[in-house]
Amino acid sequence: MKAILLPVGIDSNYGTLSPVHYDNSFSYIPIYYKEIEKERKEKRTYKSLDLSHAVPDKLVKKKVHLDPEFESFTYGDQGNQKSKALLKLNKGDLLVFYFEGRRQSDPHETGCFIFAYFVVKYVVEWNNLSSVDRKKYEKVLKNNAHFRSSKSKDNLVIVKGYSKSKLFKKCIPITVQKENAKNPYCTSPEMQKFLGIKDHITSSVPVEIEDPNKIRNLRMMLGIDPVNPKEFEEKIPLCLLSRIIDRERHLTADEKLFFMNFMISKSHDYRSDAENFGTDMYIAGFRNVDVLDEYFVDYYYKI
């Protein structure tokens, strides 16, 4: 099994970025056709997709290239590094999407964020299909932007995902911002270690992961596989802990926020932190103290 992390969506070359909110909820902004008159079939715009609030006024009426799409889970690309990477995928592999986003709480803070994934069902290379097969796949892949477009499909590579593929409600930050650097984004140290990816990440080059242990870590981070804290001998990224806590049904929103803030600011003196954790829970009047205590014990030394 392998995984490919792929950059998609609007970036600084298009004049704006996808907005990311304080809780990592987001609006994914697809790219637009810069020469509108040359795209005859695609009718969708940022306005029709209810994304007017997320783009500058001058872009609201631009026709969009909404790829990937999450209705039937398809993604396509033509003739570059991305399409070559797509051809490496096999059934059951992971195609993981990230975008370039801007924190709304701090407009100066930008980065790259994982926001969706496909579990690959199959990959189609358009140039190698017979006319009969092309008609068959046109029906199956009709939701994809390349099939909705009037442009040529020459060199098109399309990935179809299983229905268990997913678009997240909250994205996962994977970079840290570097000021005055040639490449403004560097993979965060915790992500480098947890996923085994390089320190630099760009808006055009796919990232491939093949190490079985790193694939396992990725699957847990995406929520595909359950997390057992006792299996981790090393530390885990805060973003993974955040996703674990987010999915805990027995904690309130206030309890989740309290736990994450405490773990971020802990002193690394276990006895002192344990006492303060218990006192703070008592003062706050939390009901689910047993669940919080269990998470504290399980993850204290993992962060």
**62-65 own/partner pairs: CB under 8 Å, 24+ apart:** 62/32, 62/33, 62/36, 63/32, 63/33, 63/36, 63/39, 64/30, 64/31, 64/32, 64/33, 65/30, 65/31, 65/32, 65/33, 65/145, 65/149
Does the structure show a pLDDT above 80 at 246?
A: yes
Average pLDDT over residues 281-299: 94
> Are 275 and 267 spatial neighbours (Cβ–Cβ below 8 Å)?
no
> Are 91 and 46 spatial neighbours (Cβ–Cβ below 8 Å)?
no
Reported pTM = 0.88
pLDDT tens by residue, 78-133: 877 888 999 999 999 999 999 999 998 887 888 899 999 999 999 999 999 999 99
Average pLDDT over residues 1-23: 90
pLDDT tens by residue, 27-86: 999 999 877 657 788 889 999 999 999 999 999 999 999 999 999 999 999 877 888 999
Q: Which of 185, 283, 188, 184 is nearest to 238 (CA)?
A: 188
For residue 178, the model assigns a pLDDT of 72
Q: Quickly state the pLDDT bin for 202 (edges 50, 70, 90).
A: low
For residue 37, the model assigns a pLDDT of 59
SS3 content of the chain, % helix, strand, coil (to 5): 35, 25, 40
Q: Quickly state the pLDDT bin for 177 (edges 50, 70, 90).
A: confident
